[in-house]
Amino acid sequence: MTEVLKETNFSNLGEKKTGKVRDIYIQPERLVLVTTDRHSSFDRIIAHIPHKGQVLNQISAFWFEQTKDIIPNHVLAIPDPNVTIGKKCTMVPVEAVVRGYVTGVTGTSIWTRYSKGKRDFGDIVLPDGLKKNQKLPHPIFDPTTKEDTHDRTLSLKEMVSEGLVTAEILEQIQKTALALFARGEEIAKSRGLILVDTKYEFGLDKSDLSESDKSDLSKGRLVLIDEIHTPDSSRYWQADSYEERFSKGEEPQYFDKEFLRLWFREHCDPYKDATLPEAPKELVQELSRRYIQMFEQITGKKFVPGEEPIIPRMEKNLSAYSV
């Protein structure tokens, strides 16, 4: 039986902050980012998917390596299949969303806004008559705020006027995000995939600044943080079937996690029930298989599961990072 990584409780790595999927240990100059197998939906954990954490961590590692000539990133080391040691940066509260296609179903998605009549998307005014899942004339930078409650779609001017970011840094983020997306599209295409849309997070490295400059919003070196081009932060479609499906008005072939959400919707009230039923083993295994398949297609490498038991392996691999 494959083991799952539900949580960690290391006492020697610093203060622990628990995110939806990650356990983050905060140290003076760095973060220990542990990607678990937790699967989040309906604002709660609904299942634990074998190997998911390793897949996400290693896909990000692959993309950080492929894009480090475009922008420096936070990675200091990857001492374990589930762990990244990252440089501690001051987070820029902007979710840098880049979209290559008119698609999506959420309130902030470009298709939802387009179908309600919006045409002006910052650096591009879209014509009438576009169809769902159609390729945009060029990728667009369509940022949202990064907030604990609900992300908001703001224009670039509004982001600056609200004091979230300076105009200079926002311009740098836009240019960098579009360059990262172009690299992502190019590599994805060589793997038979379309990178449809994604989001990036950036931080400012202020380690070389004087104490008085550290609180200055405009100072620091821009760094790519968090994750990049994973199946959780990005939408991918299979390239070989896209044209035919689009011409027939069918949905593209995509990495689908929705079947697990649907099962919960059919078997309980996932927003209100205090206790959820256990996800069926066959659905959990199928989702695990799909994550591994995406890892192999994106990276072109064979997936090699990390050694088990997981916690003793991590203790050994992280011994050099005690505080």
According to the model, what pLDDT value does residue 154 have? Answer: 84
Question: Residue 312 and residue 290: Cα distance in Å, rounded?
Answer: 27
Type of residue found at 260: L
- Answer whether CATH 3.30.200.20 is correct for domain 15-89+278-321: yes
Q: Which of 43, 28, 37 is nearest to 87 (CA)?
A: 28
Task: Report the mean per-residue pLDDT for the chain.
Answer: 95
Q: Which of 253, 283, 250 is nearest to 266 (CA)?
A: 283
Q: Where are the domains of the chain?
A: 15-89+278-321, 92-245
Chain centroid to CA 88: how far?
18
According to the model, what pLDDT value does residue 245 have? Answer: 98
pLDDT, one tens digit per residue, over 84-129 is 999 999 999 999 999 999 999 888 899 999 999 999 998 799 999 9
| 53/215: higher pLDDT | 53
CATH class of the structural domain 92-245: alpha beta
Q: Which of 141, 146, 180 is nearest to 164 (CA)?
A: 146
Contact partners, residue 129, CB within 8 Å, separation at least 6: none
**Cβ pair 73, 27 in contact under 8 A:** no
HSE value, Cβ hemisphere, 13 Å, CA-based, for 283: 16
- The CA angle 311-317-321, to the nearest 5 degrees, is 110
Query: What's the rounded mean pLDDT across residues 233-253?
Result: 97
Q: Say whether pLDDT at 250 is over 80.
A: yes
pLDDT, one tens digit per residue, over 183-208 is 999 999 999 999 999 999 999 999 88
Phi, psi of 302 (to 5 degrees): -75, 135
| 147/73: higher pLDDT | 73
Q: Measured between alpha carbons, how far is residue 278 from residues 21, 261, 263 in Å?
A: 18, 12, 11
For every residue of 40-103, DSSP letters joined together read EETTEEEEE-TTHHHHHHHHHHHHHHHHTTTS-BSEEEEEETTEEEEE--EEPSEEEEEEEEE-
According to the model, what pLDDT value does residue 138 have? Answer: 96
Type of residue found at 108: T
According to the model, what pLDDT value does residue 208 have? Answer: 85
Percent of the chain with pLDDT over 70: 100
According to the model, what pLDDT value does residue 35 have? Answer: 98
Contact partners, residue 134, CB within 8 Å, separation at least 6: 101, 102, 246
pLDDT, one tens digit per residue, over 137-184 is 999 999 998 877 677 888 899 999 999 999 999 999 999 999 999 999
**Cβ pair 294, 303 in contact under 8 A:** no
pLDDT, one tens digit per residue, over 263-289 is 999 999 999 999 999 999 999 999 999
